[in-house]
Amino acid sequence: MTAAPPGRSLSRMAAHALRHPAALVYLAVCAILLAWALAVTLADGSDESMAGVIPLLATAPVSLVLLALPDHGSMLVAAVVLGALANALIIGMCARALSRGNSAN
């Protein structure tokens, strides 16, 4: 990753990237998938529901790495949330770079 341009902090660039419409749509889809998976799992009653796999795959690879966290239901939510944020950051940065075009060269 290149250094931040003069006058712009890294946190400011990240916030700018996360406000891109593509990143916001991705975060919304991940939130819907997570809510659906939690609703299906809680309604099922048995511990055999595989609905949690869908949001994990939607937020891979970060969420898959975070599955090494202790085995608890909240860790699944934490892995999906952190994976979605990391991916949305990348999506927003790439979308902003593509919308600028070749003006940086």
Neighbour-count burial of 6, counting CB atoms closer than 10 A to its CB (0-12 exposed, 13-18 middle, 19+ buried): exposed
- What is the reported pLDDT for 29? 97
Query: What confidence tens digit (pLDDT) does each residue in 34-67 have?
Result: 999 999 988 877 667 788 889 999 999 988 887 7
- What is the reported pLDDT for 26? 96
| Distance (Å) of CA 19 to CA 1, 8, 57, 59, 82 | 20, 16, 23, 18, 16
Q: Say how many C-beta atoms besides its own lie within 10 A of residue 88's C-beta.
A: 23
DSSP state of 67: T
CA pair distance 63, 78, nearest whole angstrom: 8
Percent of the chain with pLDDT over 90: 42
Residues 6+ apart with CB under 8 A from 40: 49, 51
